[in-house]
Amino acid sequence: MLENDIIRPSKSPWASPLHLVSKKDGTLRPCGDYRRLNAQTIPDRYPIPRIEDFHHILKQTKIFSKIDLFKAYFQIPIAEDDKQKTAIITPFGLYEFNVMSFGLRNAPSTFQRFINEVFFGLDFVFAYLDDILVASSTEDEHSGHLKVVFSRLEQYGLRINLGKSVMGVNQLEFLGYMITPEGSKPLPEKVNVILNYRLPETIHQLRTFLGLINFYRRYIKDAAKNQAVLHDYLKGTKKKDKSKISWTTESKEKFDQCKKDLANATLLSFPNPDSPLALFTDASDYAVGSVLQQFEEDCWKPLAFFSKKLTNAQKGYSTYDRELLGIYLSIKQFKHILEGRQFTIYTDHKPLMFAFQQKNEKASRRQLRHLQYISEFSTDIRHIGGKENIVADSLSRIESISEIDYDKIADAQIDNQALNELRSKPSLHFKQYPLESGKLLWCDISTTKIRPFIPQDFQMHIFQKFHSLAHPGVKSTVKQIASRFIWLNIRKDITQWAKSCIHCQKNKINRHTRAQIATYKEVDDRFSVVHIDIIGPFPTSEGKTYCLTCIDRFTCWIEVIPLANVTAETVAREFYDHWISRFGMPYRVITDQGSQFRSELFKNIGVICGFKVCTTTAYHPQCNGKIERIHRP
């Protein structure tokens, strides 16, 4: 290194320890341990491309070359004033680098900027630091491409490492992937390492395994769903936690399933800007997933998979919100592919087809945010049957109503005691209707609709078929079923079953009954109606820690009365001394439900003085908003 002018003796006040990093071929790469220097370095934010971004240059390509640069970093000189900062301590003295060294904070960004400049304008080249991929459609075209690449490298004085470079092949390894004309998939040798991975014994070993398998996450469907149980072990643990794992039968099965999924990893196609795009999404109770596909050769071919485990808060979303979240997160994941492209969104949740047609007043703020982001890319949302959606395992799929077997119902109506009881009621009018099989079905025709009588054995089946469509509320479910069918105590049964629905209890919020907002009567005289409240405690001043606040509704005159404590006696005395004695008896005093104002003492003072004490609704301070408003800073 000294002979090649890579380093030189140094008298620098800076000094970093020497660090040797092992290469794949067994040799050592010297670099400095620049942690303290890097902490003081202003970061260079030039972007490093994502590893999987190279797929975008590979459409309709069949010939590939991989070029590895020889000591790439050492071909970037360092400014003279900054060389002293790279000084390293060695057994032979202090040396500093003349060229860019490994380990410097901004080295990757600096080299990526340089290599992008070298190959600027060449859309058949993908450069990830010192790894360069050249892709072409034919051998002749590839030969021309390589000449252009070699010319650029010579122009910038860059040398090629022939031992690591591969030229003009139809299949090669690049950045951890096997690239072929048909698409890309994980490297077999790396997959075998994971397939032979033993069951982890510690949290640290499990974290390492998940890190390995997630490198190929884009090739695996439903990765988040299948890994959810394993990720639960990592909650609240540190990075190198050596604590033991208590494996269950379920978690062991999920561990094996993750390895099987990787073994069956899908061959992903290369993006083609001329092919139609479609995003297929789905959501379950604990994960969302999607697959981005393009239409080629009369079929849909996958470009990439995405899945993400839901947080505890997201698990509480309604089905509509989870499905909408799945579309939102999927578009964010594939933003770099979808920007500027026309594509269709497919979902098995039919209400989302009308998401962009509903009024804003009916949508929550979160829904509006998600819809706004989605609309920047596409508003074409279409329905696809759950069984046809190849993305997720259809845990959240809503099945359509199957046909009702009226022949069996007609058989069960024979000599049915409940039917005879209903037929005896004068308000109902029953009539028999013939079925295609020749059997007769008893139906009520007292309303505008013909309502078949449903025996007890079929009642729960009817309820489940209607209620499971969208899990409507009790009143809506009763209305839908009672208008189409009849049985004894139908409304009571449906109400009980709807209230007992587990899905409704998990995902719906019980709200208090809300009456129409009332208003106070107009006040026509000053100091006739007064609003009072207590605020505090505050820092003690002259023995006072609270304040009694009062405001006249007519004039909005405000009084703030210091209090030593908030007992009923103190509040009543101070209100009398500072308000009633100065402004006279009010007609009405409005307070919240504080114990001081609801005490017998305060009520008795009201009786003696001739004013009425009115308290606001519990947990609704807006009722006393006149006084609450002045408490704001």
pLDDT at res. 400: 34
Is the separation of the CB atoms in 487 and 459 below 8 Å? yes
What is the structure's pLDDT at 509?
A: 56
Distances (CA, A) of 274 to 59, 271, 336: 10, 9, 16
Q: pLDDT band for position 572 (50/70/90)?
A: very high
SS3 435: coil
Alpha-carbon separation of residue 180 from 183, 268, 359 (angstroms): 5, 10, 49
Is 513's pLDDT higher than 80? no
- Tell whether omega for the bond before 537 is within 30 degrees of 0, i.e. cis: yes
Q: What is the pLDDT of residue 390?
A: 43
Among the ranges 211-225, 428-442, 494-508, 617-631, which has the highest mean pLDDT value?
Answer: 428-442
Residue 398 above 50 pLDDT? no
Give dist(CA 483, CA 178) in Å, integer: 61
Q: Does residue 1 surpass a pLDDT of 70? A: yes
pLDDT at 357 over 70: yes
Q: What is the CATH number of domain 192-397?
A: 3.10.20.370
> Phi-psi bin for 297: left (phi > 0), alpha (psi -120 to 50), beta?
left
Q: Which residues contact 90 (CB under 8 A, 6 or more apart)?
A: 18
The domain spans of the chain are: 2-186, 192-397, 406-507, 529-631
Taking residues 410-431, report their average pLDDT. 90
Q: Does the structure show a pLDDT above 80 at 583?
A: yes
> Given this model, what pLDDT does residue 413 score?
92
Task: Name which of 93, 270, 109, 243 is nearest 180 in CA terms.
Answer: 270
Confidence at residue 578, expressed as pLDDT on a 0 to 100 scale: 92
Least confident of 20-29, 396-405, 408-417: 396-405
Q: What is the pLDDT of residue 148?
A: 93
Report the chain's mean pLDDT, rounded to a whole number.
Answer: 81
Q: Which distant-in-sequence residues (6+ apart) come within 8 Å of 363 by Cβ? A: 371
Neighbour-count burial of 331, counting CB atoms closer than 10 A to its CB (0-12 exposed, 13-18 middle, 19+ buried) = buried
Residue pLDDT, tens place only, 122-152: 888 888 888 889 989 898 999 999 999 999 9
pLDDT of residue 172: 85
Contact (Cβ atoms closer than 8 angstroms) between residue 324 and residue 352 = yes
pLDDT grade for 30, boundaries at 50, 70 and 90: confident
- According to the model, what pLDDT value does residue 163 have? 84
pLDDT attached to residue 220? 67
For 527-587, strand residue ranges (E) read: 529-535, 546-552, 558-563
Rounded CA separation 474/498 (Å)? 6
DSSP letter assigned to residue 579: I
Across the range 450-463, mean pLDDT stands at 90
Phi and psi at 164, nearest 5°, equal -110, 0
pLDDT at 506: 64
CATH topology of domain 529-631: Nucleotidyltransferase; domain 5 (3.30.420)
Mean pLDDT, residues 249-264: 77
CATH number belonging to domain 406-507: 1.10.340.70
The position carrying tokens 């820092």 is 539
Q: What is the mean pLDDT of residues 443-464?
A: 88
- Judged by DSSP in three states, 174 sits in strand
Average pLDDT over residues 49-72: 78
Closest CA to 292 of 264, 268, 273: 268
Q: What is the pLDDT of residues 548-564, one digit of tens each?
A: 999 999 999 999 999 99
Torsion of Cα atoms, 488 then 492 then 496 then 498, to 10° = 90
Kindly provide the b/e burial profile for residues 97-117, where b requires at least 16 CB atoms within 10 angstroms of the residue's own CB: bbbbbbbbbbbebbbbebbee
Phi and psi at residue 562, to the nearest 5°? -65, 145
Q: Long-range contacts for 547-552 (Cβ within 8 Å, ≥24 apart)?
A: 548/574, 548/575, 548/578, 549/627, 549/630, 549/631, 550/575, 550/579, 550/627, 551/626, 551/627, 551/630, 552/526, 552/527, 552/583
349 falls in which pLDDT band (50, 70, 90)?
confident
**Which has the closest alpha carbon to 152: 187, 177, 127, 183?**
127
Is the separation of the CB atoms in 237 and 203 below 8 Å? yes
| The pLDDT of residue 401 | 37
Q: Which two tokens stand for residue 436?
A: 């295609």
pLDDT of amino acid 397:
32
Confidence of residue 399 (pLDDT cuts 50, 70, 90): very low
**Residue 324: pLDDT above 90?**
yes
Query: Is the pLDDT confidence value at 216 over 70?
Result: no
3-state DSSP of 330-398: HHHHCHHHHCCCCEEEEECCHHHHHCCCCCHHHCCHHHHHHHHHHHCCCCCEEECCHHHCCCCCCCCCC
pLDDT in tens, 95-112: 888 888 877 888 888 888
CATH number, span 2-186: 3.30.70.270
pLDDT grade, residue 393 (50/70/90)? very low
The mean pLDDT of 26-51, rounded to a whole number, is 77
The pLDDT confidence band at residue 396, using thresholds 50, 70 and 90, is very low
* Rounded distance between C-alpha atoms, residue 30 and residue 32, angstroms: 7
Confidence label for 453 from pLDDT (cuts 50, 70 and 90): very high
> 375, 338 in Cβ contact below 8 A?
no
pLDDT at 358: 76
Q: Compute the distance between CA of residue 153 and CA of residue 158 in angstroms, rounded to an integer.
A: 5
Which pLDDT band, with edges at 50, 70 and 90, does 589 fall under?
very high
Whether residue 539 has pLDDT greater than 80: yes
Instruction: Give 466-501 pLDDT, tens digit per residue.
Output: 887 677 888 888 988 998 899 999 999 999 888 888
- Percentage of the chain modeled with pLDDT above 70: 84
Reported pTM: 0.41
Residue 514 has pLDDT above 50, yes or no: no
3 state DSSP class of 577: helix
pLDDT at 550: 95
Q: Which residues make Cβ contacts (< 8 Å) with residue 301, sequence separation at least 6?
A: 183, 269, 293, 294, 295
Among 87-91, 250-254, 360-364, the minimum mean pLDDT is found in 360-364
| CB-based contact 381:356 (threshold 8 Å) | yes
| Residue 339 CB burial class (10 angstroms; 0-12, 13-18, ≥19) | exposed
Is the predicted pLDDT of residue 425 greater than 60, yes or no? yes
